[in-house]
Amino acid sequence: MNDKELMQRAIQRSAENIDNGGGPFGAVIVKDGEIIAEAGNSVTSTNDPTAHAEVNAIRMATKKLGTYDLSGCVIYSSCEPCPMCLGAIYWARLDRLYFAGTKTDAQDAGFDDSFIYDELELDYTKRKLHTEHIMRDEALAAFNKWKQFEGKEEY
């Protein structure tokens, strides 16, 4: 399947997901030309606010491959990933991202994607989410323990 066919599959998944009681989002992950994971959004059906299509597909793909590292894989998302999903894509080290709908299209359909992008660009003192920074020195002790820990598995 080529890029257009794979994106068509992600979009088809997003449309079918509405019938299945989920939001209008779908994602497909491919490795070496083979689909290894595909998922819709399941926030409401699983009561999991992190269960976006991309996150679900990443969890499915890493479980299947037995590693948290999806280097060499490509993700096709029916919509531009929100900051949570884009962060997950970076942490999973996916090689490439294709998206179709935009964050503004998602906003028009009632989702907070653009709002969250705007919030992240603000200093934490200016965000609508009330945020306080406390006890940094105590936290540094744990980071120092990590730096000195010889048995650590870096990721």
Site for a second copy in 16-45 (CB under 8 A): 18, 21, 23-24, 26, 43-44
Indicate whether 122 belongs to the interface with a second copy (CB under 8 A): no
Q: Which of 32, 49, 123, 150 binds a second copy (CB under 8 A)?
A: 49
Active site residue 54: yes
What is the C-alpha separation between 30 and 38, in angstroms, rounded? 9
Q: Which of 1, 36, 86, 114 binds a second copy (CB under 8 A)?
A: 86
CB of 35 vs a second copy, minimal distance in Å: 17
In the complex with a second copy, the residue whose CB is nearer, 19 or 34, is: 19
Determine the size of the site formed for a second copy (CB under 8 A): 88
What is the C-alpha separation between 85 and 46, in angstroms, rounded? 17
Residue 152: count other Cβ atoms within 10 Å of its Cβ.
10
Distances (CA, A) of 140 to 96, 104, 143: 34, 39, 5
Q: Which of 33, 34, 143, 150 binds a second copy (CB under 8 A)?
A: 143
Tokens for 34, please give them.
Answer: 């083979």
Q: Which of 71, 72, 108, 122 binds a second copy (CB under 8 A)?
A: 108
- 72: phi then psi, degrees, rounded to nearest 5: 90, -5
**Longest alpha-carbon distance in the chain:** 53
